[in-house]
Structure formats: C-alpha cells, structure tokens
Chain A
Amino acid sequence: NAGVTQTPKFRILKIGQSMTLQCTQDMNHNYMYWYRQDPGMGLKLIYYSVGAGITDKGEVPNGYNVSRSTTEDFPLRLELAAPSQTSVYFCASSRPRSSYNEQFFGPGTRLTVL
C-alpha cells in the first residue's frame, strides 16, 4: 500500500492564481482531512470528509474548497491564492470506529504564494 499520497510536493503561485492540491489514499479509509501547518503553530484543520459525497468545514476553511467524489480522492482547491495561504499542507486519512483510530498523513505540499 502506498498509504496517503500528495501532489505536488512543492509549488510557487502568484497572487490570484488557482491550483488544486491532490490527495489519494489506498487504505479504504472513510475519513479524510486537510490541514495546514504554519511556522510555530499547530496544524489547523481546513476541511474534512466522513465519506464520498460528504464534506464539512474545519477551523480555517476560507479561501479553500474541497470535493469528495470517491473514497480514495480528496482534492483541495485554492481559488485566488493569497500570501496568507503560504503554508505546508497535509492530507490525512483514518478509519472510523476502530479501536485504534490512527490518522495517516501524506508527505505534505509546501506552497508559497508570492
């Protein structure tokens, strides 16, 4: 199993550009999450999904959108990128209602908006 994969690893955007961060998991996990990590701060939840077709906002959803058309994929869309969205983005997945509800993290995408 590849686990959770994310693409791209790095990206530089200009202000106002748009992009999609891709996230795929091959563990058949129902729950998926997008986090951002800023220097000196804890990870913050952007959006999450409890299954295909179901998404909900986390702590910091403004400026982002998500979709969940399949169990495997959970892309994060940035519209009109702003410097405040410069961050490292992590996708994670987990299996609910298990005795060990570990979250598995992707390797991260480092995004810079200039």
Chain B
Amino acid sequence: KNEVEQSPQNLTAQEGEFITINCSYSVGISALHWLQQHPGGGIVSLFMLSSGKKKHGRLIATINIQEKHSSLHITASHPRDSAVYICAVDTGTASKLTFGTGTRLQVTL
C-alpha cells in the first residue's frame, strides 16, 4: 500500500464546476504539499499545509491531521486548470517528500 493515496486518478469537469481532489496518507508528517504539473511537464508548488486551511485565488486546500486526510478544492473551474495535481507529504527528515501518483484533471468548455 502506498504511503500517499490520491483520488480520483482522473477527473473530467465542465467549466464552472466545483472540483475536489482527495489525499490520504498513512505516515506521520510535518507538512503536506499540493503541487501542480502542467501538460508541458513543469511542476509548481501550490500549497504547503501543516494544519487547517489555506486559500489562494480559486484554490482551497484543507488538512485534517487526526484523520490523515487533505483535500484540494477548485472553485469555478476553468480549462486552464487542466493539469495533474500531486499530493506529497513531508515526513520531516531533510524535508524529503513522498508523493502520490497524481490526479489528472481535464476541464472542458
């Protein structure tokens, strides 16, 4: 069993829909990261969470440490949100990350 599990693996939405991507982990962590990988391959950091909730524009990330679960929400989705969204956990040693396999999101008009 992977230490970081994401669901769903693939997601298709219509423009304007509210999207939720889930991440569950089985190890103790110091922080959880949400990353975005564009179709061209580049990876950018969206959020780092150690508790609670963070918001940036139309993106919201939440984490429940007790339940070892995090969600990434996208409000009013747009085709430019089409990408792979990756959850990763920092176990605290040298800030090394363990990654989920990603959720491929496609937003259509």
Contacts and interface: CB of A to CB of B under 8 A. Distances in A.
Contacts, number: 56
A103 B86 contact: no
A113 interface: no
A56 B102 CA distance: 26
A43 B48 contact: no
Interface in B1-55: 2, 4, 31, 33, 41-45, 48
B106 interface: no
A103 B94 CA distance: 12
B99 interface: yes
Q: What range describes how many residues of B lie at the interface?
A: 20 to 34
A103 B95 contact: yes
A33 B48 contact: no
30 contacts: A31-B94, A31-B95, A33-B97, A41-B101, A42-B2, A42-B88, A42-B100, A42-B101, A43-B86, A43-B97, A44-B99, A45-B98, A48-B94, A50-B94, A56-B94, A58-B96, A88-B41, A90-B43, A96-B95, A100-B48, A102-B45, A102-B48, A103-B33, A103-B45, A103-B95, A105-B42, A105-B43, A105-B44, A105-B45, A108-B41
Interface of B: 2, 4, 31, 33, 41-45, 48, 86, 88, 90, 94-102
